[in-house]
Amino acid sequence: FNFSGLSEQLKQLQVYFVGSEFAKHEAGYLEGAISAVDSALANLMDA
């Protein structure tokens, strides 16, 4: 899923991305978080 070009829609859905200090220590943490957001957005777009 490509988030580029969706900034206005993401603002309307009040979806924001944040980094975490855990990402520095656990390699899969950020990837898992992005995957979860990706799935949630896909479900919202299909609704």
pLDDT in tens, the chain (47 residues): 566 677 777 777 776 666 556 556 666 777 787 888 888 888 888 86
Q: In this structure, is residue 25 part of a structural domain?
A: yes
Q: Evaluate whether residue 2 is within a structural domain.
A: no
pLDDT at 7: 75
What residue type is 1 in one-letter code?
Answer: F
Structure tokens at 16: 């924001």
pTM above 0.75, yes or no: no
16: closest CA among 27, 7, 24? 7
Q: C-alpha angle with apex 45: 41 to 47, nearest 5 degrees?
A: 115
Determine the structural domain holding residue 35 and report its residue range: 7-46
Cα separation, 20 vs 34, in Å, equals 12
Q: Residue 38: inside a domain, yes or no?
A: yes
Q: Is 26 within a domain?
A: yes
Q: How many domains does the chain have?
A: 1
